[in-house]
């Protein structure tokens, strides 16, 4: 009897050893980001970090050029943006943009090769406005981009259309059976971490400036009115999106002791605050006014333009491109030009 019991224990021990053999410590990367005992840690799968880092490599550099001494507006026709830039440096930037945005299509993706000054291709009209948007981000949203800056490559990564765009109507289909609702609740979406929340937090919170904060700062009842559960779900959906887009936990910005308190939050929360308002600014003032320029096939199901969210730039990184700056090599994108 004792022998049987010992054999059973030995067999169980072996099984547990084999089962736990795959639980290697190096599968997870854990970094403490705040005071001990508060859950202020960043946890990532090591393999996922390696994959994200690989996807966020910088493109090949473009060699500097000798200045011609002639402004682009004097050398070429119909230069409505970057006209004050040296003509040789403009050609260098055009070469870089081709590499960043349309490496397979080449210059003809935006230009008529028979008449480079022509605006007949919608892609040229959009690209011109996107250059202005890039300058605006780098010059006027320094509290978010923090000296690192952005270029066309930050979003495009070698593709004419960035991978992470959204349309208002593409995520809000209503299904006529139990458990689904017209507000897109219970429609699992990867952009909100597959949570059973309303899966379009972007229209109201990143397109329109609806209040995001739902935690009260006074004792109940809140005045003039308390946020609804529906509003709370939108907020949580946006937070899930930000967490996924940046590849971080909630505690990257918030102190788990008090998610509400700004004085106990990390510095990144302030950066994110400016980032949310930057996204609203770009959607309203740069992307939506381009609706008339886009062909029908580039619009959403409801006829709206493609818009941006946090994932458009970040793509799984807390700082796009591993925090590397490309703007130092293209200072013309860091100022609002003429």
- What sign results for the dihedral spanned by CA atoms 134, 140, 141, 143? positive
Residue 278 annotated as part of some ligand binding site: no
What are the contacts of 55-59 at 24+ separation with CB within 8 A?
A: 55/157, 55/315, 55/316, 56/315, 56/316, 56/317, 56/320, 56/321, 56/322, 57/321, 57/322, 58/153, 58/321, 58/324, 58/326, 59/99, 59/100, 59/153, 59/158
The burial of 49, by beta-carbon neighbours within 10 Å (0-12 exposed, 13-18 middle, 19 or more buried), is given as middle
* Token couple for 232: 């709370």
Residue 155 annotated as part of some ligand binding site: yes
Distance CA 117, CA 95 (A): 16
Residue 91 annotated as part of some ligand binding site: no
Residue 23 annotated as part of some ligand binding site: no
DSSP 278-321: HHHHHIIIIIGGGGGGS-GGGS-TTSPPPEE-HHHHHTT-SSGG
Residue 107 annotated as part of some ligand binding site: yes
Residue 136 annotated as part of some ligand binding site: no
Alpha helices in the chain (DSSP H): 2-20, 46-55, 72-75, 87-101, 122-140, 142-145, 152-156, 202, 229-246, 267-282, 310-314
Residue 175 annotated as part of some ligand binding site: no
Residue 310 annotated as part of some ligand binding site: yes
Residue 15 annotated as part of some ligand binding site: no
Residue 156 annotated as part of some ligand binding site: yes
Torsion of CA 20, 24, 30, 35, to 10 degrees: 50
Residue 239 annotated as part of some ligand binding site: yes
Distance CA 119, CA 125 (A): 6
Annotated binding site: 94, 107, 110-111, 130, 144, 152, 155-156, 239, 250, 253-254, 310, 313-314
Annotated binding site for heme: 94, 107, 110-111, 130, 144, 152, 155-156, 239, 250, 253-254, 310, 313-314
């Amino acid at each position: 009897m004792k022998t049987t019991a010992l054999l059973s224990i030995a067999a169980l021990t072996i099984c547990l050893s084999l089962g736990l053999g795959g639980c290697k410590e190096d599968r997870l990367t854990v970094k403490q980001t705040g005071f001990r005992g508060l859950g202020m840690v960043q946890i990532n799968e090591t393999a996922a970090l390696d994959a994200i880092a690989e996807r966020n490599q910088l493109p090949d550099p473009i060699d500097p050029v000798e200045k011609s001494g002639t402004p682009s507006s004097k050398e070429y026709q119909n230069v409505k943006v970057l006209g004050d830039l040296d003509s040789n440096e403009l050609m260098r930037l055009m070469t870089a943009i081709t590499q960043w945005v349309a490496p397979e299509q080449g210059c003809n993706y935006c230009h008529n090769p028979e008449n480079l000054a022509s605006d007949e291709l919608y892609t040229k009209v959009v690209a011109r406005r996107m250059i202005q948007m890039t300058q605006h981000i780098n010059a006027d949203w320094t509290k978010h981009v923090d000296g690192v800056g952005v270029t066309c490559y930050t979003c495009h990564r070698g593709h004419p259309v960035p991978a992470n765009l959204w349309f208002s109507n593409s995520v809000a289909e209503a299904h006529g059976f139990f458990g689904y609702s017209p507000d897109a609740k219970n429609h699992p979406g990867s952009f909100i971490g597959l949570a059973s929340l309303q899966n379009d937090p972007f229209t109201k919170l990143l397109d329109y400036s609806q209040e995001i904060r739902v935690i009260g700062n006074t004792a109940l009842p809140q005045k003039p009115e308390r946020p609804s559960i529906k509003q709370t779900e939108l907020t949580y959906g946006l937070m899930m999106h930000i967490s996924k887009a940046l590849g971080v936990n909630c505690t990257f910005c918030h102190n788990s002791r008090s998610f509400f308190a700004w004085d106990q939050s990390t510095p990144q929360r302030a950066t994110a605050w400016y980032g949310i308002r930057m996204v609203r600014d770009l959607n309203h003032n740069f992307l939506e006014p381009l609706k008339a320029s886009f062909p029908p096939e580039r619009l959403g199901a409801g006829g709206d333009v493609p818009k941006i969210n946090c994932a458009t730039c970040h793509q799984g990184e807390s700082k796009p491109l591993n925090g590397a700056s490309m703007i130092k090599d293209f200072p013309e994108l860091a100022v609002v030009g003429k």
